[in-house]
Structure formats: structure tokens, C-alpha cells
Amino acid sequence: MMDFQTLFEQNIEIITIAVYGTAIALIVIGLYAVLMKKHLVKIVIGLSIMDAGIHLLFVAVGYISGGTAPIFSPGSENAATTMVDPVPQALVLTAIVIGFAVTALALSLVIRLYKHHHTANIDQLNSLKW
Amino acid sequence: MVITPVHYIVAPLIAAFAIPLLTKIHKDAARIVPGIVLFYNVVISFFLMNHIAEHGMISETLAGWEAPWGINLVVTPFTGFLATMVSILGFIIWLYGYRFKRTLKGGEVKFYEILQMMMIAGSIGIIITGDIFNMFVFIEIVGISAFSLTAFYRSRDGAEAGFKYLLIGGFASAFLLLGILIIYTQTGTLNMAQIAERMPEVPQQMKIIALVFFLVALGIEAEMFPLNGWAPDAYSQAPSPTSATFAAVVSVAGVYALIRVVFTMFDVEGVNNYLMVMGFVTMLIAEIAAISQKNLKRMLAYSSIGQVGLILISFGIGSNLAVFGALFLMLNHSVIKSLLFMAGSYFIYNTDDKRITALNGIHKKLPIVSFFFALGSLAIIGFPPFSGFWSKFYILISAANEKYIFLIIGILLVTIIELTYYLRVVGRIYFAKEEEGEPASHRPSINALVAMSSLALFIIVIGVYPDLIMPHIQNAADALLDKTNYIQQILSVKN
Amino acid sequence: MEIIAIILLILLVGSILSFLINRVNKNFTGVTAFLVALASGVVFFTKVQSGYQFNFQLAGLDLQWGLTDYSYYFAYIIFGLSVLALLYSIKYMEGKARLGYYYASFLMTILGMLGVVVSQDFVSLFIFWEIMTWASFLLVIYNSYYKIKTKGIKYMIFSAIGAYAMLTAIVFIRVHYDTLLISEAIAKGAFNFEQYIYIPIFLLLGFGIKAAVMPFHVWAPSAYSKSPMPFTTIFSGAMSKMGIFGIGLVFTTFYLSNDPENFYWVRTILGWLGGITAVMGTIYALIQTDAKKLLAYSSVAQLGYIVVGLSTGTELGVMAALYLAVIHAVFKGALFMVAGAVEKQVGTTDMTKISGLIRKMPWTFFVALVSIIALAGVPPLGGFVGKWLLYEALITESNNYILVVVVFFSSTAAFMYSYRFLFGLFLGQEEKETEHIKEAPVTMIIPMVILAVIAMIAGSYPGLIFEPAAKAMEAIGFQNVSWQMSSLTNIWGDTTDLFLISMMIFAVFIIAFIFLTLKGLKKTRYVGTKDISTSGELPKEWENLTFQIDFFKPFERAAAPLYSMNMNKIWKNLGKNLEAFFGFFRKLYTGNGQTYALFVVIFLVVLLLFKDVIFS
Amino acid sequence: MLKKLIVFLLIATLGYTLAVTLSSIPIGKNRIGSIENPETVAAYYLDKSPNDLKVANTITAVVVNFRGFDTLGEVSVLFLAATGLASILYRKEEEEEEENIRHISHRLNLPSSSLVQTGAKILFPLIIVLGIYVFIHGHLTPGGGFQGGAIIATGFLLMLVSYKGFETNHKVMVWLESLAGLGFVGVGVFGLVKYGSFLQNTGWTGNLNDLISGGLIPLIYIFVGIKVATELTNILDILLNIKPRKK
């Protein structure tokens, strides 16, 4: 049985393309939704997708070939050298929570807007301009 | 040291968490407690300013880990100056709004108070933190509070403005995260001083891409054109004390973040020119847009953006004198624009009409408020002998030092535009035929008068005798530009 | 505390005091303001000598206040005219609203003007300049209470352009010459055209706008005529002289410190601007039917002469300009006071509605007559000497004959409007409506008469003005300025004894007066305008038969192309186009959140694409 | 159409630039450096977390201790979002507005099937227990306060969705929320008062991989867990309860 590290190193290009490709795709899709979709909820979803892509990037760049989770479980007390970078994961945790907060607030604003306008089309929300 | 910088954040946080409980004990707690906290922040500021005057800058370690390992809070003359300014203005705005909140039509007062207080605390956090990701967190604290406060009146337009702000704010946080990500992969640290130290080793390409993301993200916070579409809406729809806070506190924090990142973290050429050009474009377009506004608060909002543009120009010039001028202008802008928003909101409050045309002859009803508004207008145009003049004068001198003659002419032409629309408003207040002779229904309460008079007093006193404040600003400018000292002081423990 | 600071403080406190007193008792406001001005004037002339100066630091800048002979000369104009105008105000403003506002702004204007002349550094100069501008702005809009948008803003925008041009120059002086003191800047050649050409140009722009030089004169006529009359005297008499003060300071200095031939083109341009201003002002004054407007345009024209005088840069020319500055303040002050008296007593200054006031207001008429003669430049009075010097300077020293023709033309054309003013208001038939009119109150007559007497004396003894003017010129760099007390000498050595001429002309006048009075006493029938019969038709009551209507019709027809070329229109169109242009940019804020998001992304992508160009 | 094209071009450029940038940040490369002689913060954390703090889960150590201030900020972001949400969707609505809402939420008024209801009833306590387990063991195993709090909130969400009349005890929630927040700050202030550094951990840290170890870190995570759980539940509660209330 081939161990994971060698497998990883053999297919590093595919993995890179897959992971980064997914992340970039998420960012781009989110951006597209924000810029093109007319429905407010879809725009909020777009923002979330974009955030998700960025969070994925964070986790991805923290990965170290052959690394394990940065947890010193019994038996691996001295495995620090083979652990992945813990910092991006911690940052992502914070970023996710913040993203959640923003999304929640956005949805509440969407509800409020829908109550007033009876529509969720962003093109019709332009009473403030110039 | 009895008082440490972390008190800036901890005191408001305790209050914020405790207010829901305290309101159950006493129903006015939600209104009074933030005042106490914000006043405490002023006390902290003076204490810290005193301390750094004697002992040099403070770099407080949090959780017992020295920088760069842990998060640190830095109070240099520069950040201390801004934090002092922000906390004093925060307190004055609270004082102004103390009775104002009785009239809130929207949600409960406690929500308003918590959000408002945390917005100010978050702004101080942005200013004093020494860690880039921590700055991101504070930007989000400010952002979330600001989005909510914009929509606080729950009106149709308020929610719309809030949503726009949130949408663009969401972009800002996304791009900021991308920037932080790139910087982290290249330097392996999040401490701004250490990032600055390692920046020369970062490949040029990565550096510039990260910088672009930072510039866009923080440009949104600093209301730079064309990233500022949200700003006029948010300013005009938020409750008035919040509008004042946006102008006086949040935009200051936004500009600070931009300047800190650009000046301290990065060592890229061309940023100065970029700031100058974008600042000028921002100023020009904002003032152009302001001239034909019909809504008073919206006009003030565009004017604020214009002032931020001038601040950015001045930072872009980059010399010591220019930074001095920029900081002076920042101070003036905060003070004057809060005064204008405060006075302006009493007009709106009385006429129940946000349009400028509703102000005809209002000085008969509200003489003192009208006087303050006129004073603020004169000061923001840069009419001597009010404080606005000196900042503009120093900015012009610094521009002349670098031989930017067209920049000077441009700034002054834009000032003429500014003068035109402020004059129109003041003209309406004082010289237009009033519609009816009813007495004012809402005269300013004593606390609002105290708040406004203290700002007006500042404008006049600093205008006549600017030497009172200039040494502090000079220290601040020196501290901002002395990058090596900043890095060394913070990382001294490690080496 | 320095004496200058005390005087300025007196004015500041007086300004606030008169505002407050008005709240208590409206009757004392004017008196208070007058006393404050008088007191500060007395303190100034008794305690302050020219040459006095003191240094201080503000905002990290070395500043200096003080007085040279040159600024002292202008201080005479300021205080003299202000005190008289305030005395005049007491009765003129009686019964009007917002007296506190009026007097407070008035005193602030005096403070500003005094500050301008005592500033020996550019920053104080700018600060006081702005105070002066804003305080006067408050007075300009005093009458057109509801029309700030049209009149006041025009004044303010032009003033701001001027002030900011000045600020630009100041900033560059500070940078290039590392000084803010006027004397040091002059010593270091700051106004030298060779090095940093924009410094003197910006300064001239700044001062020139205040002096209402073409093409920036458009604010002046409306601002002059809209302000309350006593203030108009200050406005046209003293405040516009601040522009002259500045031009003199800048222009003569760089002229003297360098070879005159080098700056020939600058002088020529300035001279021509002055000349055109004079002509245009005169031509526009001709067609005014409102006496105030007429005088306002006339002021513009007179300021043009002064600029022409300064532009020659020769001793004689500058002397002419300085002399004209004072004499213009005197007679134009008197004339505006006359117009004010008429306005106060009749209620209007529209010349098509009034005529034949001579018998009702004899003193006013006397002042008007004397001042008009002075304005027209007829020999025995002050105006003549100034014009004489000006022509002489133009002909003999700068050989600028075309300009002489221009100035001469405008000066001759001035007769036409002078005549119109005098005739329109005072001569002609009496209207029925004016029967009840009485002479103006005595406190209004006194300042007018004083000014008229000064104009007369200055005609016979111009040396009284030449003396301080000569000192003033020496203070800005001329050497050994020669002058005579009561005679004019030209380069060919011909001497004219002015006193003798005056006496002779006065004698003729007195004889004529006695003769006419005697004759008039015998048999003169006074008829009203309606007292005629035209082709058997009686005029209706409402028909306006004053002959002021179409007074200069033929001339107007002849000069029609000139009138169509209106600077006002050009500026207005510029403003309109600018606003349309601005509107386009404003539309960038579409109000659609998604568009804003798109802007952000576009901006990001553009930055990413051009990142290597922008950053390195 | 033009806009679509522009947007396509924009996002394509952006995606391309990101791809180019990321291509020079290869996946899997060790950027931490040596743990013994730490240059990067990550290496330092991996060194200090087990040895000084005795916290097995390095991420927890980073989140709660090294970068605990961020977490405090994050908790307040959540708190502020809940506050803002409450202020925006403030529930004392006027009558006329209720009219507008009705058609949004008519679906919410439909009762869930009994299958869902019974399942929810069984799952709810289990979910709560799981959540509590996760945040109590935050310093030992993957997970922590946020994750545990989120799990608990899903339990409440399940109940809110299944039972129309389900209402959280508002009073208890407010108290829990505030006290948990104050507890977190309190622990920080304790460090400030006792050791002179905000959020500083106690000297007593126990043994690696013990349940009671890591000093104050588990305590903070418990507070965070409670806070997050109440906060999220609150948000869900507000968002779901915009249906017209029964009179």
C-alpha cells in the first residue's frame, strides 16, 4: 500500500489544480453571482460562496506535504515537525464566524427590504442615488 | 502602568455584554453605561498619551506572548493621537446623542447604544492593534455595527443603504482576507512590524498583488473613489449621531488602516503617487457630486468623502510636512464634520425634511444651531482664522515643496466648489425667506449644546492659536514616518 | 500687548459689542459703532508711527505685523472713509432691520482692511484678507436678503478665486524663498518674473480681482450697488483699494528691482487690462438708469485708471495711481453718500423716476456737483490733478500713446455719465411725487460735505496728498520722489499754479452763482414733467415722461456691439456648462448596489492589470 | 448583454491573476521552518502549545490563547450581528406590517410531519450533548467552542423548524449570553490583573491530553461555546420568528 505522502507528491500537480481550481472557481462563481444575479438572496449567497472560496484557499496554503492535523494526540506528542500549519486554520475559524455574521445580517436586511419593496430585485432598490 | 491599551477594548466589551442584563435592573442603563465607558476611554487616552510622552511608545502584549508571537496593541504618538481623538469625539457624540435617542423610531435604545459604542471601540481597535489579522477582526466589528446602524431606522431607504454598505463591505473583507493570505504565506507572520521587517525578502510580484488587494479592501473602508458608492447612502440614512461617527471616527479608522498598511507594511514605490491621484479623483468627484445635492446629509456625506480625498492626497505627498498636514486635516475634519452633522440633524429634526430647501430662514427658529452650522461650514472650507485653514495651508505648503503646482491649483479649485455649496446652504439658513413663523418644536437639549459648543470652541481656539495642538500632531507624523523605530521597538524583545 | 493688536481687538470687541447692544437698544448701535471706529482711528494715528513693527510666532511660522509708510498711506483711506461712513450710517440705517448684523459686519470689515495693511507677512495678510472678504460679503447680501444665490455667490466665488490664487502664490513664496515676511520676500526677489513666473501672476490675480480688473470685474457692479449705501462707500472707496495696495506692492517691487525693459510685456498687459477696464466700466456706466449702478460701473472704470497708473511703473505713474486712489475714495465716497441720501429721502435711486431734487436737497446737490466735477477731472478739483499726472506719465515716460487714447476716451466719456447723474437726480423738472422731499439729516450731510471739501482742497493743494504718497513710494523702493504743494510741473518745465487756477474758477463760479440766483429769484417758473402739452394731448398721470429715458440712445445704438459682448454672460455660460459637466460625474453614483460592486471589481481588475505600471 | 460580457471578462481576469499568483504558492510546501528555532509564528505555536500550554490541539491554543484577542473580537462580531439583527428585525411590529409579512412565511406555518417531530425530539438532546462534548474537549480533539456552539444551535434549529410553537426561553438566553460573554472577558481581565497581560493563561496547565489541562483555555472555550450557541440560536430564533405572532 502506497503511503499518502508519496501519493500526494506524485500527484502534486493534479491536487494543486484541483484544490486551487476549486477555490478560484468558488471565488469567481461567488463574484459572478454578486455582480449578475438580481435576486438579493442570490447576491448574499454569492458573497458566502466567495468567502467559502477564500476560506478554502486559507486551509489549502496551510497544508504541508504529509502533514497531520496539528493535534498532539497521545502517541504523537513529538510529531510537531510533521504537522500542518495551524495558524491558517485558526484564522479560517474566525473568518467563517465573521462570514456567518455578515450573512445573517445581510439576510435580515433582505427581509427588511422585501417588506418595504415587495420585491427582492436589486435593480429596484435605487431610491438613493446621485 | 495601571492603565493599559487593552482597556480601550475591554471596557466597551464588558459594557456591551452587560448592557442586556443591566437594562433589566434599570431602564436607563443602556443609555448611561456607554457614556461612562466612552468617558473612561478618554481617561485612558490622556493617561496613555502622558505615559508615552515620558516613556516612549507602548507595545502591550496580549495573552502573555510577546510580539510577534502574540497579538500586540501599539500606542505610539501616532496611534495614541488618533485614539485620543477618536475617543474624545466618541464621547462627545454620545453626549450629543444622549437625549436624541429618546426619539429613536427604530429598534430599542439598547441595541443602538451597544452598536454605537462598539463601533467606536472597534475603530480604536483598528488604530491601536499591531496585528494585521486583528485589524481585520476590528474592521469587521466596525463594519457589522455600521451596517446595522445604517439600517437602524428600519425605513425603506435605511435598509437599502445598509444593504449596499454590507455588499461592498463584504467585498472589502473578502479582499482583505486574500491580501492577508498572500502576506502570511510569504512572511509566515501576522504581526505588522515583523511583516514590515520581512517585506524586502518577499518577491516583488507577490508583494504587489497583496498590496493591490489591501488597497482595494482598505480603499473601501477609506471611502476612496470608485469604491465609495456605499458611503453617501450610509451617511445619509444612519441616525444622525451615527452619521457624525461615520465621518469623525469610522472614516478616520479606515484611512488609518490604509495608511498603516501602505506606509508601514509595504515598501513599494508608486503607492504615493497612487494615493495622490486617487485622492484627487475622490475629492474632485465627491465635491462635484455634492454641489447638486438636494439632501442635506447626503451633501455632508459627499463633502466628507471629499475631505478624505484631500487627506489621502496629503498622505500621498508623503513628506513629513504633508503627513503633518494630513493628520491635522484628519483632526479638523473629524471635529468639524461632526459639528456639521450634529447641527444639521437638528435642522432635519425640526423641519422633518431632509432637503436643503427646507432650511429656508431656519436661523430664526434655531439661532444657536444655525450659528454652529455656519461656523462649521466656514471652518471646513478653510476660512481663516478657523482651524480648517491651518491644515489646508500646511497641505498646500507641502505640495508646493514637491512642486506639485497643478495639484495645488486643483485643490483650490475644488475648494471653490466646496465653498459654493456650503454657501448655498448657509445662505438658505440665514438669508432665505422663511416659510412660516412657528417656533422650533425641538430646541437643542443642554447636553447637545454642550457637545456642539465644545466642538465649536475647539474650532475657534485652534484656529486662533494652532500651536496648542501642533506639537502633538508633529509627534504623530514623526512616529508614523519612523518605520524602523516602529519595527525595532516592537520586535526588540525578540532580538 | 502690542498696540496694533489692541486696535484690532478694539474693533473686534466693538463689532461684538454693537451686535449685542442692538439686542438691548437699537438707537445706540450706530453710535457705538461710530465711536468704536473713531476711537480705534484716534488710537491708531496717535500711537502708531510708521516703521513700527513686531514679530511673533504662530503655528510654527514667523509672522510680523507693522506699518510702513506705504501701508500707513492706505490706513488714512481706511480710517478716514470708515469713520465718515459710520457717521453717515447712523441716520441712514435708522429704522432698518438687523442693525446689529450690519454694524458688526461693518466693523469686522474695517478690522479686515486694517489687518491687511498692517500685515507684514503673507499669512496674516491672507487671514485678514479673508476676514475682510467675508465680512463684506455679509454686507453685500444685507439688502438682497432673499437673493443670495444670484448676487452674493457671484461676489464670493470671485473673491474665493482671488483669495486662493493669492494663497497659491503665498505657498510658493514660502517654499521657494523660505520666508513669509513681505519685506524679506521682496528682498529675495520673490516677485521677480524671471524665476517663478506664477508667483507674481497669482498674486496679481488675487489682488486684481479685488480691484475689479477685467475680466474679473463682473462681481463688482452688482456687489457695489447691492450693499447698503454707507458700506458701498467703503467698498468702492477703501476695500477695492486693498487690491490696489496689493498690486502696488507686488508690481512696483518687481518693476523696480529689475530692468524695466525686461518686464515690458507684463506692464503692457496690466496696463491694457486697466485701460479696457476703464473703457468698459465707463461704457456700461453710460447706460445705467440706476444711480447706484452708474456709480458702481464708474468705480470699476476709475479703478482701471489706477491700475493703468501702476502699470507704468514710473515715478509719475505710481504717484498718479496713489493720488487717484485717495481722491477716488474721496469723491466716490461722497457720490455714493449722495446716492444714499437720495435713496433715504426719496426711496429710490432710479434716475427715470426722480428729477429736480436741487431745490429739495441743496446740500446734497452741492456735494454731488463738487464730486462729479472731481470725478470728471475738471481742473479746479482733485480729479484733475490725478488725471494730469496719469496722462503725463503715459505720454512722457512710457510712450504708450494708444493707451493714452484709450484712457482719454474713457475719461471723456465719463463726462456723459457724470452729466447724467447730476442732471438725472438734481436738475430737470420736479416731479409731483417729490414735493414732500426734504434735505437729508445733518449727520448724513456732514460726512458728505467733509469729503467734498477734501476734494476741493486736494484740487488746490494736491501736495497734501503727495506728501504721504511720496513717503509711501519711498517705502516701496522709489528714491527721492519729488512733489510740489500746489503746482504741477511737466517735463518741459511749464508750471501751473493750481491754487491760482482754483481761485479763478471759484471766482467765476461764485459770480455765476450770484448772478443766477438773483436772476432766478426774480422770475423762474418751476414746472413738473406733466406740465406740458404735446400735440394737444395731455399726458396721463402714470406716464413716465422723465427725459432720463433713452438718455443716450444714439450713443447706445452706436456702441451696441460693445454691449452685446458681455463678460457677465460669458461667466454665466461657463458656470452652466461646468454644472452640466459635473452632473455627468454625479451620475456615476447610480444608486444600484450592484453597480457599486461592479465598480469595485473593475477597479480591482484594472489595478491588477496595471499593477506593474503603477507600482514598482 | 454588454454587462454580462464585461463581468465575464472581469472575473476571468481576476481568476487568471489569482491562479498565476497562487501558482507561486505551491501546496504542500513546508513554510513553517524549523520548530526548534522558530522563524514563523506557526513553528512557535507548534512548539509552545504542547510544551508550555499543555494543549494538545494547537489550533485551540492558537484560537484561544495565542490569538485569543481575535477570538474575543470574533465573539463580539457575532454578538453585534445578533444585536444588529434584532434591531433590524425588531419584533414589536405595527399591525400594518404584519400584513406584509404573512405571505412570506406561510410555509413556516405548515406543521411538520410527525416523523420529523418525533425524530427531532429524539435527536435534540443528543445534539446538545454532542455540542457540549465538542466544546468541552476543544483543547484535546478537533473542534471547540465555535463548533460546539454551532452544533447546539443546529439542535435548536431542528426544534424551531419541527415545532411551530417552539420558543426558546428568552430570559435564560439573554442571561446565558451575557454571562458567557462576561465570563470570557472576565478570564481575560483575570490574566490582566494577575499577570499583567490580558487573557494570559495561568501557570498551572496540567498534563498534555488530560481533560483538565491547558489552564484557562478549556474554560474560555466553554464560555465561547455557550456564547456561540445562544447567539446562533438567537439569530435563528429572530429570523424564524418573523411570522405573525398569535394575538
Query: How do the domains of chain C map onto residue ranges?
Result: 287-531+544-565, 566-614
3-state class (DSSP) for residue C56: strand
pLDDT for D247 equals: 35
Which of B144, B176, B208 has the most D C-beta neighbours within 10 Å, making it the best mutation to test the interface with D? Answer: B144
What mean pLDDT is predicted for residues D165-193? 84
Neighbours of chain A (3+ CB pairs under 8 A): B, C, D
Model confidence at D241: pLDDT above 70? no
Nearest to D88 among B4, B9, B154 (CB): B154
Q: In the complex, which subunits touch D with 3 or more CB pairs below 8 angstroms?
A: A, B, C
**What does the block give as the cell for B128?**
491601536
Q: Residue B139 — very low, low, confident or very high, per pLDDT cuts 50/70/90?
A: very high
Is D56's CB within 8 Å of A90's CB?
A: no
Query: In this complex, which of B219, B431, B467 lies closest to C59 when CB atoms are compared?
Result: B467
Instruction: Decide if pLDDT at A17 tops 60.
Output: yes
| Pairwise CB contact (< 8 Å): D13 & C608 | yes
Cβ within 8 Å, pair B412-C168: yes
Q: B126-138: per-residue pLDDT in tens?
A: 999 888 999 999 9
Q: What angle do CA B391, B396, B400 make, to 5 degrees?
A: 150
| B106: pLDDT strictly greater than 50 | no
Residue of A4, A10, A24 to mutate, testing the D interface (most D Cβ within 10 Å of its Cβ): A24
Check A106 against B161: CB less than 8 A apart. no
- Find, among B282, B268, B297, B313, the residue nearest to B408 by Cα: B313
Interchain contact, C598 vs D7, CB within 8 Å = yes
Band of residue C528 on the pLDDT scale cut at 50, 70, 90? low
CA-nearest of B241, B395, B386 to B330 is: B395
Contacts of B209 in chain C (CB under 8 A): 608, 611
- Pick B375 or D33 by higher pLDDT: B375
Give the model's confidence band at C511: pLDDT under 50 very low, under 70 low, under 90 confident, else very high.
confident
Test A128 with B160 for CB contact under 8 angstroms: yes
For C589, the closest of A31, A123, A130 (CB atoms) is A130
What pLDDT score was predicted for residue C16?
87
Helices marked H in B403-445: 405-431
Using a CB-CB cut-off of 8 Å, the residues of chain C touching D11 are 601
What's the whole-number mean pLDDT along residues B186-195? 87
pLDDT at position B142 is 92
Q: Cα(B378)–Cα(B221) distance, rounded to whole angstroms?
A: 27
Residue D17 predicted with pLDDT over 70: yes
- Could you tell me the residue ranges of all domains in chain A? 4-72+79-121
Chains that touch B (3 or more CB pairs under 8 A): A, C, D
Tens digits of residue pLDDT in C297-310: 888 888 888 888 88
Residue C529 reports pLDDT greater than 70: no
Of C172, C590, C603, the CB nearest to B227: C603
- Per-residue pLDDT tens over the stretch D20-67: 888 888 787 777 777 777 788 888 888 888 788 888 888 888 888 888
Pairwise pLDDT comparison (B172 vs B103), residue with the higher score: B172
Tell me: the pLDDT tens digits for C49-90?
777 888 888 877 888 888 888 888 888 888 888 888 888 888
Over chain D, what is the mean pLDDT? 80
Contact A112 B151 (CB under 8 A): yes
> Mean per-residue pLDDT for C415-443?
76
Q: How far is D54 from chain B (nearest CA, A)?
A: 15
Instruction: Choose the weakest-confidence range: B301-315, C199-213, D22-36, D130-144.
Output: D22-36
pLDDT value, residue C2? 79
Note the pLDDT of residue D246. 39
Return the residue of B nearest to C141 by Cα: B431
pTM comes to 0.90
Which residues of C make CB contacts under 8 Å with D? 598, 601-602, 604-605, 608-609
**What is the 3 state secondary structure string of C53-87?**
EEEEEECCEEEEEECCHHHHHHHHHHHHHHHHHHH
What pLDDT, in 10s, does the model give residues C94-134? 777 778 888 888 888 888 888 888 888 888 888 888 888 88
Return the percentage of chain C with pLDDT > 70, whole number. Answer: 86
My answer on whether omega of the bond before B384 falls inside 30° of 0, hence cis, is no
SS (H, E, C) C476-524: CCCCCCCCCCCEEECCCCCEEEHHHHHHHHHHHHHHHHHHHHHHHHHCC
pLDDT score, position B457: 92
pLDDT at C392: 80
Residue with cell 479560517: A92
Q: Is D103 exposed, middle or buried (0-12, 13-18, 19+ CB in 10 A)?
A: exposed
Report, as an integer, the average pLDDT of C585-592: 80
Do the beta carbons of residue C407 and residue C390 sit within 8 Å?
yes
In angstroms, the CA D84 to CA D238 distance is 11
Q: What are the chain D neighbours of B149 within 8 Å (beta carbons)?
A: 84
Contact residues, chain D, for A37 at CB < 8 Å: none
| Residues pairing with B129 in the sheet | B73
Cross-chain residue pair C600–B216, CB shorter than 8 Å: yes
Q: Class of the A4-72+79-121 domain?
A: mainly alpha
Distance in angstroms (rounded) separating the CA atoms of residues B460 and B465: 8
Give percent of chain C with pLDDT exceeding 90. Answer: 0
- State yes or no: pLDDT of D105 exceeds 60: no
Q: What are the pLDDT digits (tens) for C245-282?
A: 888 887 766 666 555 566 677 777 888 888 888 888 88
Contacts of D89 in chain A (CB under 8 A): 108, 111-112
* Chain A residues with CB-CB distance to C589 below 8 A: 129-130
- CB distance A102–B173 less than 8 Å? yes
- For the ranges B255-269, C340-354, D156-170, the maximum mean pLDDT occurs at B255-269
| pLDDT-wise least confident of B15-29, B284-298, C537-551, D114-128 | C537-551
* Distance of alpha carbon A31 from alpha carbon A26, whole angstroms: 8
Question: Contact C404/C394 with Cβ under 8 angstroms?
Answer: yes
- From the CA of C366, how many Å to the nearest CA of chain B? 38
- B450-471: per-residue pLDDT in tens? 889 999 999 999 888 888 888 8
Question: Considering only CB atoms, which chain A residues are within 8 Å of D209?
Answer: 72-74
CB B377 within 8 A of CB B368: no
Residue with cell 523660505: C178
* Greater model confidence, A6 or B387: B387
C522: burial class by Cβ within 10 Å (0-12, 13-18, 19+)? Answer: exposed
Q: What is the pLDDT of residues A54-107, one digit of tens each?
A: 999 888 888 887 777 888 877 776 777 778 888 888 889 889 989 989 998 898
Q: Does position D107 have pLDDT exceeding 80, yes or no?
A: no
Residues of C in Cβ contact (< 8 Å) with A126: 590-592
- Residue C253's pLDDT is 65
B408-446 confidence digits (pLDDT tens): 888 888 888 888 888 888 888 877 776 666 666 777 788
Chain A residue closest to D79 (CA)? A101
C594 vs A124: CA distance, rounded Å: 11
At residue B5, the pLDDT reads 85
Whether residue B85 contacts residue B78, with contact meaning beta carbons closer than 8 Å, is answered with: no
Write down the pLDDT at residue C171.
85
Q: Compare all CA atoms of chain A with the CA of D14 and give the residue at the minimum distance.
A: A28
Predicted local distance difference test score (pLDDT) of residue C144:
64
In tens, the pLDDT along B328-372 reads 999 999 999 999 998 888 888 877 777 877 777 777 788 888 889
In angstroms, the CA C517 to CA C358 distance is: 13
Which residue of chain B comes nearest to D42, CA vs CA?
B188
The C-alpha cell that represents D75 in the structure block: 465573539
Cis peptide before B226 (omega within 30 of 0): yes
Average pLDDT taken over every residue of chain B = 86
Q: What is the pLDDT of residues C552-571, one digit of tens each?
A: 777 777 777 777 667 777 77
| B240, containing H or E segment | helix B240-245
C-alpha cell at D121: 425530539
